[in-house]
Amino acid sequence: MIAAPLPRRLDPNRLRPQDSAAHDWYRFVLSFPPHLVQQYVARFDLTPDSRVLDPFCGTGTTSVECKKLGIPSVGVEANLMAQFAARIKVDWSIDPDSLEEHAQHVVRVAQEHLESQGIVDEQLNGQVHQSDIQLRSLAPKSMKLLLTDCIRPLALHKALVLLDVIELELRHDRLVDHERLAFAKAIVASVSNLHFGPEVGVDPAKPSGPVIPSWLTEIHAMASDIRELRANQGVESKIIHADARDLAHVLEPRSVDAVITSPPYPNEKDYTRTTRLESVLLGFIRDRTQLRALKQTLIRSNTRNVYKLDDDDKWVEQHPRIQEIARQIEARRLELGKTSGFERLYARVTKLYFGGMARHLEEVKPFLRPGAQLAYVVGDQASYLRIMIRTGQILRDIATSLGYEPVGIDLWRTRIATATKAQLREEVVLLRWPGK
φ, ψ of residue 47 to 5 degrees: the values are -130, 175
Helix (H) or strand (E) holding 376: strand 368-379
Pair 382, 252 in one domain:
yes
Pair 72, 131 in one domain:
no
Pair 288, 364 in one domain:
yes
Q: Tell me: the pLDDT tens digits for 344-361?
A: 999 999 999 999 999 999
Structural contact between residues 82 and 104, judged by C-beta atoms closer than 8 angstroms: no
- In angstroms, rounded to a whole number, what is the distance separating the alpha carbons of residues 200 and 29? 9
- pLDDT at residue 364 is higher than 50: yes
Q: How confident is the model at residue 128 (pLDDT cuts 50, 70, 90)?
A: low
Average pLDDT over residues 157-173: 97
Average pLDDT over residues 113-136: 75
Pairing of β 127-128 and β 368-379: unpaired
For residue 377, the SS3 value is strand
Average pLDDT over residues 199-206: 87
**Residue 38 located in a structural domain:** no
Helix (H) or strand (E) holding 34: helix 34-43
Q: Tell me: the pLDDT tens digits for 281-337?
A: 999 999 999 999 999 999 999 999 999 999 999 999 999 999 999 999 999 999 999
Residue 7: the pLDDT is 35
The string of DSSP letters for 37-73 reads: HHHHHHHTT--TT--EEETT-TTTHHHHHHHHTT--E
Residue 204: the pLDDT is 86
**Residue 100 located in a structural domain:** yes
**Residue 188 located in a structural domain:** yes
**Residue 206 located in a structural domain:** yes
CATH of the domain at 49: 3.40.50
Average pLDDT over residues 252-274: 93
Q: For residue 416, count CB atoms less than 10 angstroms from its CB and return exposed for 0-12, middle for 13-18, buried for 19 or more.
A: exposed
**What value does the CA radius of gyration of the chain take, rounded to a whole number of Å?**
23
Q: How confident is the model at residue 1 (pLDDT cuts 50, 70, 90)?
A: very low
Pair 315, 385 in one domain:
yes
**Residue 413 located in a structural domain:** yes
Determine the structural domain holding residue 223 and report its residue range: 12-20+94-232
- In angstroms, rounded to a whole number, what is the distance separating the alpha carbons of residues 26 and 89? 8
- pLDDT at residue 130 is higher than 70: no
Q: How confident is the model at residue 422 (pLDDT cuts 50, 70, 90)?
A: confident
Pair 423, 284 in one domain:
yes
- pLDDT at residue 16 is higher than 50: no
Pair 105, 129 in one domain:
yes
Share of the chain above pLDDT 70, in %: 89
Domain count, the chain: 2
- pLDDT at residue 193 is higher than 70: yes
Long-range interactions of 225-232: CB distance < 8 A, separation 24+: 225/22, 225/23, 225/25, 226/92, 226/94, 226/96, 226/99, 227/96, 228/22, 229/23, 229/67, 229/68, 229/92, 230/92, 230/93, 230/96, 232/67, 232/68, 232/70, 232/92
Average pLDDT over residues 220-226: 96
Query: Final residue of a domain: which of 211, 232, 253?
Result: 232
Pair 313, 266 in one domain:
yes
Pair 73, 107 in one domain:
no
Q: How confident is the model at residue 5 (pLDDT cuts 50, 70, 90)?
A: very low
pTM for this one?
A: 0.91
- Count Cβ neighbours within 10 Å for each residue of 259-271 and write b for 16 or more, e otherwise: bbbbbbbbbbbbb
* Sign, CA torsion 212/213/216/217: negative
Query: Final residue of a domain: which of 202, 232, 262?
Result: 232
Query: Final residue of a domain: which of 179, 204, 232?
Result: 232
Structural contact between residues 281 and 184, judged by C-beta atoms closer than 8 angstroms: yes
**Residue 37 located in a structural domain:** no
Of residues 125 and 21, more confidence is placed in: 125
Pair 175, 128 in one domain:
yes
Q: How confident is the model at residue 126 (pLDDT cuts 50, 70, 90)?
A: low
- In angstroms, rounded to a whole number, what is the distance separating the alpha carbons of residues 264 and 107? 38
Q: Going by C-beta distance under 8 Å and a sequence separation of 6 or more, which residues neighbour residue 350?
A: 266, 322, 325, 326, 329, 384, 389
User: Among the residues of 275-431, which ranges form H helices?
Assistant: 276-281, 288-295, 320-336, 341-344, 346-364, 391-401
Pair 62, 191 in one domain:
no
**Residue 83 located in a structural domain:** no
Pair 98, 72 in one domain:
no
Residue 423: the pLDDT is 85
- pLDDT at residue 227 is higher than 90: yes
Residue 133: the pLDDT is 80
Q: How confident is the model at residue 401 (pLDDT cuts 50, 70, 90)?
A: very high
**Residue 84 located in a structural domain:** no
For residue 410, the SS3 value is strand
Q: How confident is the model at residue 27 (pLDDT cuts 50, 70, 90)?
A: low
Q: Tell me: the pLDDT tens digits for 32-64?
A: 789 999 999 999 999 999 999 999 999 999 999
For residue 122, the cross-strand partners are none
- pLDDT at residue 217 is higher than 50: yes
Pair 283, 214 in one domain:
no
